Amino acid sequence: MRRSVLPLLTLIGIAALSQQPPARADNTVAYCQLSRHDHTIALESGPCQFSQHQGNVNVQMGKRWAFHFPADQQGQSYQRSNSEQGLRFTREGDYTLSVFWRHSLQCAGRSEPVSVAYTPTGADLAIGDQHIALTGSGARYTAPGVELWEHQGTTRIDWLGQVISCR
């Protein structure tokens, strides 16, 4: 009886393994800042598309910039550092690309997506396809006509005179 059970268990194990979903890549819209190390070109920033598969990272920043960071080159052709805010890729002597994660907000009475990405110097607020860079830190961020306040899980946005309450 034991001899007949072993092939059956082996067959069940193989069938279970074949049912696992294929590995997926991580893809998300983020906010990026590109800083050149020679400081002759101003900091560039804006929305970007981030994707990662098996440690290989691709970042598309607008139509102008496409970056590829192969996992097997980490520590050789570039340095990578991770934080709660996002990722930073540095090619020494050339540039630093910082990728900041967007946080979706659930806002009362809003059908378009609302999100914010926090940077060391401020935040990028997106309502629908409109983005605005805010300065500040902690709980309050501002730009002309726009203010964002965060307190205990509640976000209040004054968007050009319209008050938006979010969680």
pLDDT in tens, 97-122: 999 999 999 999 899 999 999 999 89
* Residue 130 and residue 83 share a domain: no
The answer to whether position 156 is within a domain reads yes
Say what the pLDDT of residue 22 is: 42
Is-contact 35 43, C-beta < 8 A?
Answer: yes
pTM across the whole model: 0.80
User: Tokens in use for 91?
Assistant: 């090619």
Domain that holds residue 156: 106-166
> For residue 133, what are the β-bridge partners?
124
**Locate tokens 């906010």: which residue?**
31
pLDDT confidence of residue 70: 98
Of 167, 141, 163, the residue nearest 154 (C-alpha): 167
Residues 131, 88: one domain? no
Q: How many domains does the chain have?
A: 2
Predicted local distance difference test score (pLDDT) of residue 27:
94
Are 73 and 120 members of one domain?
no
Closest-CA residue to 97 (of 48, 35, 27, 38): 35
In the chain, which residues have pLDDT < 50? 1-2, 5-24
Residue 43's SS3 state is coil
Q: Return the percentage of the chain with pLDDT > 90, whole number.
A: 77
Q: What DSSP line would sit under 9-31, residue for residue?
A: HHHHHHHHHHTSPPP--EEEEEE
Report CA dihedral (85, 91, 97, 101) to the nearest 10 degrees: -30
Question: Could you tell me if residue 50 is inside a domain?
Answer: yes
Domain limit, last residue, from 75, 101, 127: 101
pLDDT of residue 39: 81
- Here the CATH number for the domain that contains residue 32 is 2.30.29
The last residue of one of the domains, among 52, 84, 101, is 101
* Domain membership flag for residue 139: yes
Query: Is residue 17 one of the residues assigned to a domain?
Result: no
Predicted local confidence at residue 144, as pLDDT: 97
Residue 19: inside a domain, yes or no? no
